Amino acid sequence: MRGAFCQTLSELAGRDARILLLTGDLGYMALEPFAEKFPGRFFNVGVAEQNMVGLATGLAEAGLIPFVYSIVTFATLRPYEFIRNGPIQHRWPVRIVGIGGGLEYSHQGVSHQGLEDVGVMRLQPGLTVIAPADHQQTRAALQATWDLPGPIYYRLGKDDKTIVPGLDGRFSLGRAQVIREGGDLLIITMGSIAAEAAAAAEALSAQGVASTVMVVASVSPVPVEDLAALLMQFPVALTIEAHYTVGGLGSLVSEVIAERGLSCRVVRCGVKTMPTGLSGDLNYLYRAHGLSREALVETALREVGK
Amino acid sequence: MSPRRIRQIILEQSYRAHVGHIGSALCVADIIAALYGNVMNVPRPDDPERDRFVLSKGHAALALYAALHLKGWLSQEQLDTYCADHSLLGVHPEQALTGVDFSTGSLGHGLSFGAGAALAARLQGSARRAFVLVSDAECNEGSLWEAVMFAAHHRLSNLIAIIDMNGQQALGYTKDVLDLSPLPARWRAFGWDVHEIDGHHPDEIAGTIAGFDRATGPPHVLIARTVFGKGVSFMEGRIKWHYWPMSNEEYCQALREIGAKP
């Protein structure tokens, strides 16, 4: 997704001189296309994320549209108060771009794993939060939102190859996308783990369980109507996210159910405990947290009583 | 712009609203008077080409409100809503209030905002400058030094920081809490153009800034020696006036001391 992000941003920047790109010294083999094309609008500010967001606030006040880029944890948690007191409080168009949402920086360890970013970012009012599921949706989301008047957080993955089947690069702010339809089970997912969710749905189908799969990329604003319309049709919904189960997609879906007085039960599949520190690749970590497609199938079968 | 009038407004409003931060606001009255008197180019508060101001030590907002009032951008009626319900004039400045460029309150943010404003001016080919008023204790914040390094690296000569060096902070004197000395040497070592001045002489402040290289060279910092609570003898250098509100007796004496009538 970072390749799609940089490519799309470069195209937009060619049309709109207000776009700037700031990085906290990350983005090797990712940001070069922008940096080479717009050297005067690209700033490596050094390993200083608080200042990066503060700078972006000052730049946005003057009518510019700064994108600030780092790994999810460094883009959100380190400068969190700057994000709150800067672009959010002033309602200015700073774009926070976090790379490696979830467990994608697997071998890098807990410090690099973005497991609470959606939770902390979506609780800020006036902040648009977007978590695309693949690189095609990343491109569409960026094209649809880059010039919104207020601040935005983009939670991106690293993968520029995998395509979530049935998504076809669709994105619409405040809407969710259905990528598969079936009557036995509802699966709601967010971010790059959507590919695992889709694979699990395919495997479930072979075992006689037909799933509807919905992708939520527009986390804020919440696609309340799209979610409620499906949740009222199912007795149980699995939420699948590479994020702590508190605060993320599972919480968001539970809020919709509670506020609408729906009867759907939610099974939150996500990271439930602090990672142990044991290293491994992404698939290892998905297995460790019950998020591999095999584990998701097992959970789904148990929950639908098969 | 008269520092005495700024001090009078600070005393009147803080007494009326019965709130503190009086000493911090009195301390910067001369700096604010210099900036809004004849240093900054602010023909109108909404002029896109105006100089930008960041009150990074947001707890001195009352001094800023006084200046905005004396500029004619804030009516007496608005001023009299300080800390009242449904007023934009709180203890810390809100950008929604006409004349306030940036909301502040949490220390360590403002120099980054100002560096961004200065960089924006450069990118847009504008001659406007950014002024940031920082407290000395704010130099405790690591984030401030991130901005210090960035501004020096990019030689933001249109960025001017003013440090209100009154030597005290909320719970004690800076030398006892977290010693900053030698502060001028530290800023110089980080690549800034450093000037040590008397922070209670508006003409010296204005004169020093008038001599700055605006086009090339490093960013500038005025290390302004100030007296906390300046102008009111029983507040000067006293820690308790960081938070304390005034009694009627104290208010009357304070007004007399600055040469105003109760």
User: Of all residues in chain B, what percent carry a pLDDT higher than 90?
Assistant: 95
Of B95, B108, B117, the CB nearest to A90: B95
Residue with tokens 């040590």: B196
Report the 3 state secondary structure along chain B: CCHHHHHHHHHHHHHHHCCCCHHHHHHCHHHHHHHHHHHCCCCCCCCCCCCEEEECCHHHHHHHHHHHHHCCCCCHHHHCCCCCCCCCCCCCCCCCCCCCCCCCCCCCCHHHHHHHHHHHHHHCCCCCCEEEEEECHHHHCHHHHHHHHHHHHCCCCCEEEEEEECCEECCEEHHHHCCCCCHHHHHHHCCCEEEEEECCCHHHHHHHHHCCCCCCCCCEEEEEECCCCCCCCCCCCCHHHHCCCCCHHHHHHHHHHHCCCC
- Please name the helix (run of DSSP H) or strand (run of DSSP E) that holds residue A90, with its range, or none: helix A89-90
Q: Does A89 touch chain B (CB under 8 A)?
A: yes
Fold of A177-304: Rossmann fold (3.40.50)
* Contact residues on chain B for A40, CB-CB shorter than 8 A: 123
In chain A, domain spans: 2-156, 177-304
Spatial CA neighbour of A164 closest among A134, A201, A204, A132: A134
Residue numbers in chain B where pLDDT is lower than 70: none
With b meaning 16 or more CB within 10 Å and e meaning fewer, what string describes B175-188?
eeeeebeebbeebe
The residue type found at A107 is: H
Q: What is the CATH number of the domain that holds B197?
A: 3.40.50.970
Q: Does A48 touch chain B (CB under 8 A)?
A: yes
Contact criterion met (CB < 8 Å) for A59 and B143: no
Parallel, antiparallel, or unpaired: how do β-strands A211-215 and A177-180 relate?
Answer: antiparallel
The residue type found at B192 is: W
* pLDDT score for A306: 76
Phi-psi group of A25: left, alpha or beta (phi > 0 → left; psi -120 to 50 → alpha; rest → beta):
left
d(CA B215, CA B147): 19
Sequence-ordered list of residues with C-beta below 8 angstroms from that of B121, at least 6 positions apart, any chain: A62, B127, B128, B129, B130, B158
Q: In Å, how far are A17, B11, B89 from B3, measured between CA atoms?
A: 43, 12, 20
On the question of a common fold for A2-156 and A177-304, the answer reads: yes
Residue with tokens 């599972």: A250
Domain count, chain B: 1
Instruction: Calculate how close chain A gets to B27, using CA atoms only, in Å.
Output: 25
Tokens of residue B178, six digits: 């977290």
Q: Which chain A residue lies closest to B49 (C-alpha atoms)?
A: A62
* pLDDT score for B171: 92
Contact criterion met (CB < 8 Å) for A55 and B103: no
Q: Does B102 touch chain A (CB under 8 A)?
A: yes
Q: Does A209 touch chain B (CB under 8 A)?
A: no
Contact criterion met (CB < 8 Å) for B112 and A50: yes
d(CA B116, CA A62): 9
Burial class, A300, CB count within 10 angstroms (exposed 0-12 / middle 13-18 / buried 19+): buried
Residues 114-133 of B with CB under 8 A from A: 114-121, 123-124, 130
* pLDDT score for B91: 96
Tokens of residue A262, six digits: 């729906």
- Please name the helix (run of DSSP H) or strand (run of DSSP E) that holds residue A20, with its range, or none: strand A19-23
Instruction: Calculate how close chain A gets to B199, using CA atoms only, in Å.
Output: 26
Sequence-ordered list of residues with C-beta below 8 angstroms from that of B31, at least 6 positions apart, any chain: B133, B162, B164, B199, B202, B205, B224, B226
CA atoms within 13 A on the CB side of A115: 21
Selected for mutation to probe chain A from B55, B56, B109, B154 (highest A CB count within 10 Å) is B109
Parallel, antiparallel, or unpaired: how do β-strands A65-71 and A19-23 relate?
Answer: parallel
Spatial CA neighbour of B251 closest among B18, B2, B80: B18
What is the residue-level pLDDT of chain A in tens, covering all 306 positions? 999 999 999 999 999 999 999 999 999 889 999 999 999 999 999 999 999 999 999 999 999 999 999 999 999 999 999 999 999 999 999 999 999 999 999 999 999 999 999 999 999 999 999 999 999 999 999 999 999 999 999 999 999 999 999 999 999 999 999 999 999 999 999 999 999 999 999 999 999 999 999 999 999 999 999 999 999 999 999 999 999 999 999 999 999 999 999 999 999 999 999 888 889 999 999 999 999 999 999 999 999 987
CA atoms within 13 A on the CB side of B207: 8
What is the tens place of the pLDDT at every residue in B102-123? Answer: 999 999 999 999 999 999 999 9
Query: Rounded to the nearest 10 degrees, what angle do helices B3-17 and B61-70 cross at?
Result: 120
* pLDDT score for B262: 73
* pLDDT score for B7: 98
The residue type found at B54 is: V
* pLDDT score for B214: 86
Taking the complete model, does pTM exceed 0.90, yes or no?
yes
Q: Does B52 touch chain A (CB under 8 A)?
A: yes
Of A58, A66, A85, the CB nearest to B103: A85
Q: Which chain B residue lies closest to A41 (C-alpha atoms)?
A: B123
* DSSP state for residue A76 in the 8-state scheme: H
Range of the domain at B182: 3-258
Contact criterion met (CB < 8 Å) for B117 and A89: no
d(CA A198, CA A176): 15
Helix (H, G, I), strand (E, B) or coil at A181: coil
Tokens of residue A83, six digits: 């994000």
Angle value at C-alpha A149, between A143 and A153, nearest 5 degrees: 65
Contact B110, B118 (CB under 8 A): no
When the pLDDT of each residue in chain B is averaged and rounded to a whole number, the result is 96
Fold of A2-156: Rossmann fold (3.40.50)
